[in-house]
Amino acid sequence: MKLKEFAKQVGLSPTTVSRALSGYPEVSETTRARVVAEALRLGYRPDVNAVRLKTGRVGAIGVIMGRFGEFHFAEFMAGMAERLASEDTDILVIPMADRDLNEEMQTYRRLAESRRVDAIIVHSPKPNDPRIELLDRLGIPFFVHGRSDIAIPHAWLDIDNEGAIRRSTEHLLDLGHRRIAMINGRKGLTYSIHRDIGFRKAFEGRALEQDAQLIAHDTFTDELGFRHARFFLESSNPPTAFVAGSMMTALGVYRAVRSLGLAIGEDVSVIAHDDVFPYLTAENMAPSLSATRSSMRAAGARCADLTLQLLAGRSVSDIHELWPVELNLRESTRPVR
Amino acid sequence: MKLKEFAKQVGLSPTTVSRALSGYPEVSETTRARVVAEALRLGYRPDVNAVRLKTGRVGAIGVIMGRFGEFHFAEFMAGMAERLASEDTDILVIPMADRDLNEEMQTYRRLAESRRVDAIIVHSPKPNDPRIELLDRLGIPFFVHGRSDIAIPHAWLDIDNEGAIRRSTEHLLDLGHRRIAMINGRKGLTYSIHRDIGFRKAFEGRALEQDAQLIAHDTFTDELGFRHARFFLESSNPPTAFVAGSMMTALGVYRAVRSLGLAIGEDVSVIAHDDVFPYLTAENMAPSLSATRSSMRAAGARCADLTLQLLAGRSVSDIHELWPVELNLRESTRPVR
DNA sequence: CAAATAATTGAAAACGATTTCAAATATCCC
DNA sequence: GGGATATTTGAAATCGTTTTCAATTATTTG
């Protein structure tokens, strides 16, 4: 049913009907109520595409899906979905090969030119991320999940990665561990860098030497956690403790430790960062896993919320949120032997 | 830049330009080439919303994201993305609480009335899925990943769940196992039912008795795999082998077996179904995991492909694909002690 | 009670493309 | 070379809304 026909049925002009439904103040309360009721009864809904053409608003937020971190991505999106369910805003998934920067830029450009989304959410930025510069130049509103050191002002939400890893590491140092390995995220990403810094600062704060050989950078998967942990453990001077970048990494580390006949907690301590997956909880691992914790899903919801605020006109330089992380100590970290 | 202005710059009418860009045959090759080149140079792209309004085509496929199986969902979507990257088709994620059927139906109705998507992909259907009936009644083209026994004809792609589990189970029976537990998917879903059937048929084919107590139904997570496996293993008459519904479940089973001081392969055999996650491979588990295998990502790509064909006018009753699964035997399944 | 003001309603012009139908130009064939 | 046919081009209508501006009706006020 089209507006014209519906208006006729209600006995009003299209103008008034449109105004009544979009909540304009100049239509009387009684007519509005009537129109809304009739719309519900007759099942009239404005055609999204016509509305979009006319208003210029698309009603969609784009989120870039890379080849990596699909786990975290799904959780983040679930959070976004939670927040946007009540809004009339869609989530558009934009696949990105994440390999060819040139092609990636092309995708953004296309996106901008064809006006498919009102805003874009960018993940896992780099300190000087060319995507941010491009999006800024293209004039698409964008929101950064994470941070970038780039000179361009941008709205962002990030967790305190430096503090998280620093506290984790200090905890291990307090337990007497000195050879501590870290399996961090991919090299070059801001959060990996922040975590490296936190790691180093923990040592520096206690005037201890840190072996740079004991840091690995890679995607957060069970598989790679396993491989890196094995590699470290089989070296001539193996670590007595691990800082794992994610829950998946921790799973891999657990496997690696056990595959060498060692016991988690007793022989090797493990601490991780937990993004809170509904299907993989640190408490329930055996032995339970000490971890810093910050919900990825909550971050998704909040990012969606802030992006809406951004679109509503709130100033970019106003929108910065740094989330602290919880630290929960459990059985996987014990004094060094 | 708008069509009108761009056309002026090229020195042609909007009509011709539009035709040239959309590949109509009645425009000469030389002009088309010129127009395309200029469009690229000047960065002209038709406004999506205008095109959508005019043509009625939205250029988006909706995919329902439930509360469960986010893992599989991410892989599936990555596959879709792969296929749709070259097409001018977006992926719209539609969050669905998956709890209140009524609300769910409301969401579909809204979706239909507001023309946000050209088609919808439905996952994990039930034998008599009300969503299918509703989508059919609403007249939205839809594609089912999985199958339903419903009388309404629908396009679908499914894997041979029955055959997969049957073969897995037969393999365990061949090894002499008699008490075999299965940790299956959520109750009521078509694929869970098919798997139950495959499981039972394996026993029946060898005229053996199967203990219905040894089947659990739940979401595919590490956590729940662990819990169900523990429960079975701690019973008075524990199983000697497990059929795990997913890789996550298998991880949980591994943990459970080990937490009781037993060895995978030696004391307890495990076989699983592997949807192929890039970050969690059966070969690399320790010990390596026997598994049936079918790529979720490939399924996503193919579903996207078939949905496009559906939209292009291919008959619904023509589009049915049943994928066989591979079976790879590894170290986790051994003769019963 | 009339004039002035405020509150509602409507007619018609956008939004930016596609596409029908008609006109102009190029090509063919005897 | 001229009429017929095939190939290219363009003018204008259209998609279904929102919104500007003007017109109408209701309310206030001196």
Q: Which domains does chain B have, with CATH numbers?
A: 3-46 (1.10.260.40), 57-159+297-323 (3.40.50.2300), 161-294 (3.40.50.2300)
Distance, in Å, from the CA atom of A171 to the CA atom of A121, rounded to the nearest integer, reads: 34
Q: Are A228 and A183 in contact (CB under 8 A)?
A: yes
User: CA-CA distance, B97 to B100, in Å (whole number)?
Assistant: 7
Q: Is the pLDDT of residue A301 over 60?
A: yes
pLDDT over threshold 90, residue A303: yes
Subunit contact A221:B278, Cβ cutoff 8 A: yes
Which tokens is B332 given?
């986790």
Burial class (CB in 10 A: 0-12, 13-18, 19+), A109: middle
Q: Which of B291, B238, B324, B85 is CA-nearest to residue A95?
A: B85
According to the model, what pLDDT value does residue B288 have? 92
- Closest nt to B51 (CA→C1')? C17
Contact criterion met (CB < 8 Å) for B71 and A74: yes
**Cβ separation of A280 and B221 shorter than 8 Å?**
yes
CA–CA separation, A221 and B246 (whole Å): 17
Place of tokens 């709130």: A314
| Helix, strand, coil % over all residues of chain B, rounded to 5 | 45, 20, 35
| pLDDT at residue A98 in the model | 64
The minimum CA-CA distance between A27 and chain B, rounded to whole Å, is 24
Q: Is the pLDDT of residue A70 over 80?
A: no
Please give the share of chain A, as a percent, with pLDDT higher than 70.
Answer: 98
Strand order in the sheet with B155-159: A320-323, A155-159, A142-145, A119-123, A60-65, A90-95, B90-95, B60-65, B119-123, B142-145, B155-159, B320-323
In Å, what is the separation between the CA of B61 and the C1' of C14?
Answer: 30
Comparing CA positions, the residue from A201, A220, A200, A221 lying closest to residue A211 is A200
Mean pLDDT (whole number) for A161-176:
98
Contact call for residues B159 and B182 (beta carbons, < 8 A): no
Identify which of B5-9, B34-38, B238-242 has the greatest average pLDDT: B238-242
Of A235 and A286, the structure prediction assigns the larger pLDDT to: A235
Whether B269 has a pLDDT exceeding 80, the answer reads: yes
What is the distance in angstroms measured between the alpha-carbon CA of B20 and the sugar C1' of C29?
A: 31
Band the pLDDT of A67: cuts 50, 70, 90: low
**Residue B261: exposure state from Cβ atoms within 10 A (0-12, 13-18, ≥19):** exposed
pLDDT at A96: 73
Q: Greater confidence, A102 or B158?
A: B158
Residue A25 CA and nucleotide D27 C1' are separated, in Å, by 18
Cα(A48)–Cα(A279) distance, rounded to whole angstroms? 37
Using the predicted structure, report yes or no on whether residue B130 has a pLDDT greater than 60: yes
